[in-house]
């Protein structure tokens, strides 16, 4: 039974591309996206740490066929008890085949290798032990053993405010977080949701002031 003890990324999760049919952002073709594209809610940065979702063993640690600019780039597959997870577009390879890993242990760093338009983790889940058939698609173009990871993430139920305070000591992410908040405030006011727009605007001021007090980041 698939059960996560830890999320694959730190900070709260934002899914920028779900488990669904989509027009491929690079190839422009319609294809089933058999995983989740993940980044922290306030934007991913190269080198963000990635974690094993349970106790398992590394069964694949390699560069995509064709080279580092193709497919998943640097990617790994970890086998758990009857199921597996693939982590793609990594910065490099930090674990080796056969290595045992614990839930919550760092197993790599977020990057943008392979066919990718920006820093994120492609996270794919398989309801099967590792087999070369993983990469076989059924007649609908869905990877044979792939299941939607979205059902399994661990919720850490942080408020927006807590998430933002978490990144106060990371200037790059903090700047991006403020931008994200601005976009959300604008979007909510465009949608006519003025209460929400006001909430995001007040958060910007609060978080900005706290950043300034804590060292002007």
Residues at the interface with Zn ion (CB under 5 A): 37, 122
Q: Which C-beta is closer to Zn ion: that of 37 or that of 48?
A: 37
Question: Which C-beta is closer to Zn ion: that of 34 or that of 188?
Answer: 34
Which H/E stretch holds residue 30? strand 30-33
Rounded least distance, CB 33 to Zn ion, Å? 6
Please enumerate, as own/partner, the contacts of 180-183 that have beta carbons within 8 Å and a separation of 24 or more.
180/41, 180/42, 180/43, 181/207
Radius of gyration of the chain (CA): 19
Nearer to Zn ion, 11 or 122 (CB): 122
Residues found in the chain:
217
Q: How many CB atoms lie within 10 A of CB 37?
A: 23
Return the number of the residue (12 or 37) whose C-beta is nearest Zn ion: 37
Cβ atoms of 12 and 158 closer than 8 Å: yes
Q: Which is nearer to Zn ion, 88 or 211 (CB)?
A: 88
Strand 74-79 to 36-40 pairing: unpaired
Buried b (16+ CB within 10 A) or exposed e, 94-106: bbeeebebebeee
Structure token digits, residue 145: 């053993």
Q: Least distance in Å: CB of 171 to Zn ion?
A: 28
Q: Which of 76, 151, 143 is CA-nearest to residue 110? A: 76
CB of 211 to Zn ion, least distance (A): 32
Task: Name the residue whose CB lies closest to Zn ion.
Answer: 122
Closest distance of CB 163 from Zn ion, Å: 23
Q: Name the minimum Å distance from CB 133 to Zn ion.
A: 20
Output the smallest distance, CB 35 to Zn ion, in A: 5
**Separation between Cα atoms, residue 11 and residue 6, nearest integer Å:** 11
Of 17 and 57, nearer to Zn ion (C-beta) is 17
């Amino acid at each position: 039974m698939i059960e996560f003890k830890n999320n694959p990324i730190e900070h709260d999760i934002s899914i920028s591309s779900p488990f669904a049919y989509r027009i491929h952002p690079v190839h422009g073709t319609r294809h089933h996206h058999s995983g989740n594209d993940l980044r922290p809610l306030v934007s991913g940065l190269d080198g963000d740490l990635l974690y094993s979702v349970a106790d398992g063993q590394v069964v694949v640690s390699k560069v995509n066929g064709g080279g580092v600019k193709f497919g998943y780039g640097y990617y790994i597959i970890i086998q758990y008890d009857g199921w597996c997870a693939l982590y793609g577009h990594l910065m490099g390879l930090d674990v080796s085949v056969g290595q045992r890993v614990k839930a919550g242990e760092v197993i790599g760093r977020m990057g943008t290798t392979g066919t990718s338009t920006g820093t994120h983790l492609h996270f794919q889940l398989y309801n099967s032990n590792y087999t070369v058939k993983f990469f076989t698609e059924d007649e609908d173009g869905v990877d044979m053993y792939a299941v939607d990871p979205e059902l399994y993430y661990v919720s850490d139920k942080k408020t927006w405010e807590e998430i933002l305070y978490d990144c106060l000591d990371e200037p790059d992410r903090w700047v991006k977080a403020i931008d994200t908040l601005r976009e959300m405030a604008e979007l909510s006011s465009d949608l006519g949701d003025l209460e929400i727009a006001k909430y995001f605007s007040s958060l910007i001021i609060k978080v900005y002031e706290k950043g300034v007090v804590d060292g002007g980041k």
